[in-house]
Structure 1
Amino acid sequence: GRAIPLTAQQAVRDVTQRTRALLYPQRILPPEALHQALKAVGEALGRRRFVGYATATFIVFEDASSGRPRLWAEDLWPYLCPGLVSHWTYQILTQPPHHRAGGDSHSVLTPSDAESLTQTSLADTQTSRGSAIVSVEREYLTVPRFFHPKLGAVPFPSFFKLCRLQGVSFDLRSRTGVAFHLLGSFSDGLVGFIALARNHGDALRNADSIMGFFKKHVGNRTLAAAALAEGNEDDGFDQFIATGDTIKAHKVKIEKGERLAKEEKARLLRDSHRRG
């Protein structure tokens, strides 16, 4: 048998190191290093005659002696994970059917695609065999599922009418925007989403806007409920608030990096003009 890596996503974790969202593509490790780690896990599963989907998580840290990144396996789940389902959604939204691993709707990447781990199979401007449907590279942040205690009170038609009025949508032309994971009836309070954009920063900004949309139009923790939460009484908002706070914190962090990069670029441009 053989193991084929299907995708590699970067965990967005809160202060307690709990994963709240996933970013694609991952930019922590070189693709080849991660591919070799996943290959080793796959071979170990093969020796145990495991057949099916499996999800492995890794922790990356800087080696104190060499200063190089080190990779440790953290956990292994022998089943299909929600993150991979989100990646299937991404493939459906960005690639024509006959480019999704030979047209098989149950596959995510062909073996050649899996070698890169961080790229989709076609370039942004490549047209598929003369078709009007174009396969594009996009980046995304996904929250495969989260619980909102007031979602059950919102009918499907009202929810999507609100989305339309507030500009929450997915643009089929640019292949950017937000798509929701409908995990069943809203009465369960469960929903998920994937925010597609041209880069991580825009994906985080889109996701932050979606969490704000839920707070404003579906419901947020009241002051009375906040007092109960301080007394360790769960009002059902803990997961939702922690997810929103984590996304916002990562958005601020990446925007700071973007600002510093822009300032550095401007400085280099000024220096080159002075030398010229």
Structure 2
Amino acid sequence: MDRPDLPLNALRVFEVAMRQGSFTRAATELRVTQAAVSHQIARLEDLLGTILFQRTSQGLVPTDEGRALFPVLEHGFDAMARVLDRLTGKRDVEVLKIGVNTTFALGWLMPRLDSFRNAYPEIDLRISTNNNRVEILREGLDMAIRFGTGGWTGHDAVQLMETPLSPLCAPELARELRHPAELARTVLLRSYRSAEWPGWFAAAGVECPALTGPVFDSSVALAEAAASRAGSALLPVAMFERFIAQGRLAQPFGTGVSAGRYYLAWPSDRPVSRAMKTFTHWISGGQDRGMELDSRPRTARPC
């Protein structure tokens, strides 16, 4: 069966609607009516013979087919824009999309972003945060900063840093704690990684008490709860130095335990672009870490 000729305008409307998550916002960006956006999407779905969006009471929900098509089009339109900029004499800027664990983003990366952007103005660095559950290919990313033990199937990764976990709590609570065993008198705030508190108490040489405190899916939320005197949280201290400097958190005991490391990861079958190599060199302290640069002129390829 011959592939249908797909109108570029309809593909562009779909890409904007996916990115905006709304026909209304897509219409605003494209400066057309919402009805025109809906018409173009319906036309594209008819030509493809598949549904790209489910229309629900909560808004647009992309189908699996829509999610598969989006990153291909997004990167394709980015590539065309860069070539056209080059042909018209504008500076060639390479887009680099990085998914970042929220704790790392707030605790380390964001305060340093200006230095990267000043040093490499030719790279349009786009950051999206996540709670460490990120799918690089599905989400149209080039790379991701993740916390764990490395070794993710189908991905290459370079180790960035280890950040041992140690209890943090409000300063007034920290002043009352003289021995690790006394932490049992406080509410032990927990992450979804259930082995962290038992591992820390073992390192401190103290029996772990029953763990009944609330469970959080984000270290940032844990830190906020601890700072508001809700209890003690086991956190990567290096990521919350700002909280400590501001007097919002204190570290009552020096014992630390490793639960993993931060890594920069990318799909193994993805050619390494110049922007990817540059970012890796910068974030790993000037070490190339053995990355082989793809010599072909390219933009971020479809995920």
Structure exhibiting the larger radius of gyration computed from Cα positions = 2
In the superposition, the TM-score normalised over structure 2's length comes to 0.27
In the superposition, the TM-score normalised over structure 1's length comes to 0.29
Q: Which has the higher contact order (CA 8 A, sep 6+)?
A: 2
